[in-house]
Structure 1
Amino acid sequence: MKSFLSILTVLLLAFHGVFAQELKSPNGELTMQFSLKSDGTPTYQLHFKSNPVIKTSNLGLELKNDKKSLLDDFTISNTETSTFDDTWKPVWGEVKTIRNHYNELAVTLKQKETDRILIIRFRLFDEGLGFRYEFPTQKNLVYFVIKEEKTQFAMTGDHTAFWIPGDYDTQEYDFTESKLSEIRGKFDAAVTSNASQQQFSKTGVQTALMMKTNEGLYINLHEAALINYSCMHLNLDDKNMIFESWLTPDAIGDKGYMQAPCNSPWRTIMVSDDARDILASKMTLNLNEPCKIKDTSWIKPVKYMGVWWEMITGKSSWAYTNELQAVQLGVTDYSKVKPNTTHAANTTKVKRYIDFASENGFDALLVEGWNEGWEDWFGKSKDYVFDFVTPYPDFDVEAIHEYAKSKGIKMMMHHETSGSVRNYERHMDKAYQFMKDHGYDAVKSGYVGDILPNGENHYNQWVNNHYQYAIEKAADYKIMVNAHEAVRPTGISRTYPNLIGNESARGTEYQAFGGSNPNHVTILPFTRLIGGPMDYTPGIFEMNISKFSPNNNSHVNSTLANQLALYVTMYSPLQMAADLPEHYEQFMDAFQFIKDVAIDWDDSVYLEAEPGDYITVARKAKGTNNWFIGNVNGNETRTSNLTFNFLEKGKKYMATIYADAKDADYKTNPQAYTIKSKKITSKSKLSQTSVPAGGFAISIIEIK
């Protein structure tokens, strides 16, 4: 049911010239207090079970070329309180239904000198706080430019944080675990090379930021509903332990062009004394608008394979020829050049992948490097780089379309923009229509390299608007989008569920670029996945890359059992089996789990979790009574003691357990695994050991 009754008690307490208002969460465990300082500066505080989480923190925005910023000199002209309690059904997700329950306080502020109006809206859920700035229609604030948003998050101590460097162009870093006071000293070592990157401060970090206090509280800072605004980073005052928002600028340093009526994204603070609550929270989704796509029947979760890993590892190439140093679309004649022997996106190889995908029950196949232009696509500041419709001579679009259709496989399109967003928009309608004409229902888009026009960043307002434009335009053509190198998601998939995935973090490809930290996948669900699913591309079975790509000495820092578990712990409606078919053919008994595991769920139960150390989650497959469990482990050997009380009482199940063997070692013996089956019920228990960077995966099938 829905209710907007003002049932909350608003306390107007006058002391030392400060006016305070209090808001409680539905369960009463969280308390937010809004107040004005004596100079009219708006502030807030947050408590959990009477313990401080956020100390008094300032709110407001600094404006460019304006006589008065929206920072102080405010009075409270009105307050409105309400409660909201509703349940909605996601098109796809971790659970069948989502409850949206919060108490709200909207404070209308009036600036005395300018007569401007600013509304700060707070929504307090059982798991955290969301708040945003709203700029209503008014005479004295119509068009304005944001120089900087000055939102503060004042910490109560020197917390442990899992952070990556603040960067305007990439999130593809390993996480560093340190005290807040140590960020400055560890910053330079945390910055590793990337195709496009720009840091702004030695204490700047990115959201979602996960922290743990000495008292055992888990705190997560992020944002929700990033629409027509710049991505928010955090800059730490490490003397006072205060984070302040830091927006991504455009080419001339401006951070937001606004026209009232409008609003900022939600700033979010999740807090709990149980790490599992952070993972289970749907607060980010709930702070986004309901679905705007009327007919969603065409939006379906996808399990896919791809002609991709062999290029990432260097075994094969995206480019058709090695003879061309420069390409001009419409001018270069590929029939007159000698093809290389390493181009992967050729008709014969693609059919081989289609056969394997079809035989093993997959939905789709991604092919990269199929279109003209890959010979000089990167690092040239080239505007007209791809046209997204012209295939290489060895890629027969029509034949592949018909062959895939005969095998029950959908083809997944790849659009690499090379950062030239204007060029992508120039070709977008024609490219999307080309997809529909040839049976492609989903696109993986990429934004590798510096953004064009020069000086723009991946995460500023203008480029964020491009990503949103691409999603909405794709919806017009009934196309699902999986955007790589785009801004990290903020729950927009609720409003536009055709956004079925993003990369926007350090994915599996970095295992081929030197490797990722062994505990990387125990952190990502607490950080990157807070805003939406990630196309992490798991399922690597051959960890020693030099065995099939001799010039690459990288090693995948994971056991095979860990790779299986990722299909459950790294939630996504878009899951790839990323390795080569010949590697799966060597381990078909383990590959069975990838074939069986669901990608859409009726329920999810987080059984145990500690950021950086371990995550174990059980999920119930959509429309069935079958469950799947995944455990990923961090840097130390650990034993999980599980109960199965989430299973239906009175039912019997067959559990197949894929686990690390006793001698498994992610460096020296990663392919050592065991498979065993046993009958279980809701009363059963299991003790299972995982090695460092290891884990286990369990399929639980109801016995009829």
Structure 2
Amino acid sequence: MKFSVLIVIIFFAANLSQANSRICEGRSNLKPTKFPLVISSPDNKLRLTLSYSNHNGLMYSLIARSKSLIVNSRMGVSGTCVKPDHFMRRSIRSVWKPVWGKRASVLEQYNELAMDLKAYKIIVRAYDNGVAFRYEFPEHHGMTDLTQFKFGGNYTAWYYNGEHANIGPERLVDCDTIRLPVMTIKADVNNYLAIHEADLSAGEPLVLKSQKGQTLFTVASKPNSAWKVIMHGNKPGELVDSHLIELLNPPPPENADFSWVKPGIAVWDWRIAGAQVDGFKYEMSLPSWKRMVDFAAENHIQYLALDADWYGPEFGKNSDPLKGGKVAQVHDIIAYGKAKAIGIWLYLNDVGGREFPIEQTLKQYHDWGAAGIKYGFMSGSPDEKNKRTRMITALCAKYQLLCDFHDGPIHPYGQMRTYPNAVTREYCQAQLDGVTALEPRTFVTSVFVNMLAGPLDMNNGLADLSQKGRTHAPDYATNTTLVAEAARTLITFSGVTVIPDIPESYRKHPEILKFIGAQRMPWLESKTLMGEIGEYIVMARQAADKTWLIGVATNENARELDIPLSFLSPGKFNALIIQDGEDADYLTITESYKTSYRIVDRQDKLHVKLAHGGGACIILMPM
């Protein structure tokens, strides 16, 4: 991990006057507390105000550009409620250079306020794109989380909903039950919020609760030391582009080396099973694996993922993840892949992970030469699943394995900063998951909700949208157009983009294949250019070779967009534009598309026409 830090610690006087601030590095600077206390973002556009009363304890309000978004909400946990008599401030400015992520370099800048309430401590931070606070208390505290989020109006919200379509849009006063983060909120056309948590080192994941007729949400889960995070953006795309969740996590363990972590594209054997082409039937076995590796090597694809049952029935207690099933074939494909610079991922079910020594299993996978693991169907309470996920992630880092958690995983909370090998999770409804097709509106909602938590394994990128005759897929068309399905591979942020089809399907569409193969990670830059929750999204990412790629996806509604190219550097670019054909429709003619070429620069706009449930894919190569 390359991590360069320039830290300036500035403690402000108790009257909050920056004119009277002074630099105090390496020594305490406690000041008497006089409420209200205000902590503002470095750009002064966000303002969190703290107040105190003997009846309510500590309260907070959040204002963004003079608009009250959260009002008179409690902060803290139950127990001895003592008015803090001193507080401390500091400001941090540094640069984070992740091994991989949305961009190559990230500015980390915030103001912080810390208070000691005797029974526990509260730390509050204000960033330009949100605020966060956490409670520090003894492990066996026996307290109740009193945190509230009382919104300043009857806003519209969307929520994570397991491996199903998201909940929402829902007016806040209509919610009368439990809701799971990420909770994304539209206050007005210039203010968007998201509620989540970061750095869940131990304890239960965050659960929110509301009562009908109110705009007040409380915490239904047990207290923990994770950061409660309130993200803010003037547009929903600013939430998507934020690094706030990762930045609230600690850096990697001291002396850790993650230079071996390489993000990329992966082909996958699960959805190909049963497909027949030119007398060859694809199966989850060595002959098919070799064809997939050959295809990957030809098209700048880095990995092949082997899914369930390779070591025996995945839920069988006697299925040995080191000796069972097709282990000999796995040895062969790892060696075959190594010869062609293609890494092999291995599936591991929670049953095998528990019935056999987990560290021994992971060490052996490393010794075999595997690139990573896909861990499925973890059991236990949310608290137990979090502990086990953290343990497996750390072991995978020890043995240089990438990891992907599937089937109801604990929500991401920024682990990729501490453990860059934590490259993705199925924290969403994936394409054809549970033999259901991903609806267009679900995708363009999930990217503004689920994806705020971290990298997602959504399995988009089918090239044969009928999926007839597949062993693990339904016999009906996918709810998207071919172009939109390809665009989703770019839009979805992930450290491993798993594409699910056979080589022959991609070769029928060379321009689509070129777009997928051009996604050379790690990304140098990412920008959400346009978009509205549940409506559409336009995402631009700059690949490692400096090529810019744009992915566009819409909901069930057709639309036309003019995409500004002002994000480009000066100079000319060759543009390949792939968009839906005139007759394309996600329910009828799904594979119709057209291509065109242009020379463009940063002054231009690209006009695209999206079919119902459609999309567009654009490659911009510097001349």
| TM-score between the two structures when normalised by the length of structure 1 | 0.80
Q: Distance in 1 between matches of 2:404 and 2:265?
A: 13
Residues 132, 267 of structure 1: 8 Å contact kept: yes
Output one character per residue of 1:78-123: Cα deviation in whole Å (capped at 9) or x when no partner.
211111111120010111110111111112113xxxxxx3211110
CA 1:55–1:215: 2 relative to 1, 3 Å: farther
| 1:303 aligned residue (265, 279, 290) | 265
Q: Distance in 1 between matches of 2:56 and 2:513?
A: 62
Q: Distance in 1 between matches of 2:329 and 2:105?
A: 43
Output one character per residue of 1:424-473: Cα deviation in whole Å (capped at 9) or x when no partner.
xx42222122212322021111126xx2xxxx32x22x220110000111
| 1:441 aligned residue (364, 371, 378) | 371
User: Which position in structure 2 is the counterpart of 1:108?
Assistant: 116
Residues 484, 552 of structure 2: 8 Å contact kept: yes
User: Which position in structure 2 is the counterpart of 1:630?
Assistant: 551
Letter in 1 for 2:418: T
User: Which position in structure 2 is the counterpart of 1:414?
Assistant: 347
Q: Are 1:602 and 2:535 an aligned pair?
A: no
SS in 1 for 2:509: helix
Q: Distance in 2 between matches of 1:178 and 1:668?
A: 27
Letter in 2 for 1:204: I
| 2:396 aligned residue (450, 453, 474) | 474
CA 1:598–1:19: 2 relative to 1, 3 Å: same
* Structure 1 residue 578 displacement after superposition: 1.3
Residues 210, 218 of structure 1: 8 Å contact kept: yes
Q: Are 1:239 and 2:213 an aligned pair?
A: yes
Letter in 2 for 1:357: A
1:331-370 mapped onto 2 (5 Å cutoff): 344-370=283-309
Q: Distance in 2 between matches of 1:495 and 1:144?
A: 26
User: Which position in structure 2 is the counterpart of 1:35?
Assistant: 51
Q: Distance in 2 between matches of 1:689 and 1:10?
A: 55
For structure 2, the 5+ residue unaligned runs are 1-5, 18-32
Q: Distance in 1 between matches of 2:75 and 2:413?
A: 21
Q: Distance in 2 between matches of 1:367 and 1:57?
A: 48
Q: Are 1:491 and 2:403 an aligned pair?
A: no
* Structure 1 residue 556 displacement after superposition: 1.4
Output one character per residue of 1:515-542: Cα deviation in whole Å (capped at 9) or x when no partner.
2221222122222121211121111122
* Structure 1 residue 243 displacement after superposition: 0.7
CA 1:541–1:182: 2 relative to 1, 3 Å: farther
User: Which position in structure 2 is the counterpart of 1:504?
Assistant: 427
CA 1:18–1:236: 2 relative to 1, 3 Å: farther
* Structure 1 residue 594 displacement after superposition: 1.0
Q: Are 1:430 and 2:352 an aligned pair?
A: no
Q: Distance in 2 between matches of 1:442 and 1:400?
A: 14
CA 1:484–1:631: 2 relative to 1, 3 Å: same
CA 1:421–1:407: 2 relative to 1, 3 Å: closer
Letter in 2 for 1:638: R
User: Which position in structure 2 is the counterpart of 1:270?
Assistant: 231
Letter in 1 for 2:151: M
Letter in 2 for 1:611: I
Residues 572, 599 of structure 1: 8 Å contact kept: no
User: Which position in structure 1 is the counterpart of 2:22?
Assistant: none
1:104-183 mapped onto 2 (5 Å cutoff): 104-110=112-118, 117-135=119-137, 143-146=140-143, 148-165=144-161, 171-181=162-172, 183=174
CA 1:385–1:40: 2 relative to 1, 3 Å: farther
* Structure 1 residue 214 displacement after superposition: 4.3
Residues 271, 473 of structure 2: 8 Å contact kept: no
Residues 526, 541 of structure 2: 8 Å contact kept: yes
SS in 1 for 2:546: coil
CA 1:393–1:121: 2 relative to 1, 3 Å: closer
CA 1:99–1:663: 2 relative to 1, 3 Å: same
* Structure 1 residue 343 displacement after superposition: 9.4
SS in 1 for 2:11: coil
Output one character per residue of 1:137-191: Cα deviation in whole Å (capped at 9) or x when no partner.
xxxx563345x422110012221111245xxxxx21201323335755xxxxxxx
SS in 1 for 2:164: coil
Q: Are 1:206 and 2:167 an aligned pair?
A: no
Q: Distance in 2 between matches of 1:207 and 1:122?
A: 20
Q: Which moved more, 1:264-273 or 1:539-548?
A: 539-548
User: Which position in structure 2 is the counterpart of 1:66?
Assistant: none
Residues 346, 370 of structure 1: 8 Å contact kept: no
* Structure 1 residue 9 displacement after superposition: 4.8
User: Which position in structure 2 is the counterpart of 1:138?
Assistant: none
CA 1:589–1:97: 2 relative to 1, 3 Å: closer
Residues 441, 556 of structure 2: 8 Å contact kept: yes
Q: Distance in 1 between matches of 2:327 and 2:357?
A: 23
Output one character per residue of 1:17-46: Cα deviation in whole Å (capped at 9) or x when no partner.
993211111111111111222226221111
SS in 1 for 2:250: coil
Letter in 1 for 2:266: Y
SS in 1 for 2:70: strand
Q: Distance in 1 between matches of 2:86 and 2:34?
A: 16
SS in 1 for 2:524: strand
| 1:279 aligned residue (236, 240, 243) | 240
SS in 1 for 2:357: helix
CA 1:421–1:129: 2 relative to 1, 3 Å: farther
Q: Distance in 2 between matches of 1:133 and 1:672?
A: 54
Q: Are 1:699 and 2:619 an aligned pair?
A: yes
Residues 173, 213 of structure 2: 8 Å contact kept: no
* Structure 1 residue 404 displacement after superposition: 2.2
| 1:87 aligned residue (71, 86, 95) | 95
SS in 2 for 1:220: strand
Letter in 2 for 1:371: W
CA 1:287–1:615: 2 relative to 1, 3 Å: same
User: Which position in structure 1 is the counterpart of 2:329?
Assistant: 396
SS in 2 for 1:401: helix
Letter in 2 for 1:154: K
Q: Distance in 2 between matches of 1:615 and 1:7?
A: 41
Q: Are 1:23 and 2:39 an aligned pair?
A: yes
Q: Distance in 2 between matches of 1:58 and 1:234?
A: 14
Residues 312, 324 of structure 2: 8 Å contact kept: no
Letter in 2 for 1:86: S
SS in 2 for 1:404: helix
Residues 345, 369 of structure 1: 8 Å contact kept: no
Output one character per residue of 1:42-79: Cα deviation in whole Å (capped at 9) or x when no partner.
21111111211111111233xxxxxxx42x63211321
Letter in 2 for 1:491: G
Q: Distance in 2 between matches of 1:396 and 1:133?
A: 51
CA 1:607–1:440: 2 relative to 1, 3 Å: same
Residues 306, 366 of structure 1: 8 Å contact kept: yes
* Structure 1 residue 224 displacement after superposition: 0.7
Q: Distance in 1 between matches of 2:513 and 2:542?
A: 20
Residues 391, 397 of structure 1: 8 Å contact kept: no
For structure 1, the 5+ residue unaligned runs are 62-68, 111-116, 136-140, 166-170, 185-201, 248-254, 257-262, 317-340
Q: Distance in 2 between matches of 1:641 and 1:119?
A: 50
* Structure 1 residue 664 displacement after superposition: 0.8
User: Which position in structure 2 is the counterpart of 1:198?
Assistant: none
Output one character per residue of 1:253-311: Cα deviation in whole Å (capped at 9) or x when no partner.
xx46xxxxxx6100011123222221121111111111226212111112110111135
User: Which position in structure 2 is the counterpart of 1:329?
Assistant: none
Q: Distance in 2 between matches of 1:182 and 1:385?
A: 51
* Structure 1 residue 216 displacement after superposition: 4.3
Q: Are 1:58 and 2:32 an aligned pair?
A: no
Residues 35, 44 of structure 1: 8 Å contact kept: yes
* Structure 1 residue 370 displacement after superposition: 4.7
Q: Distance in 2 between matches of 1:547 and 1:396?
A: 25
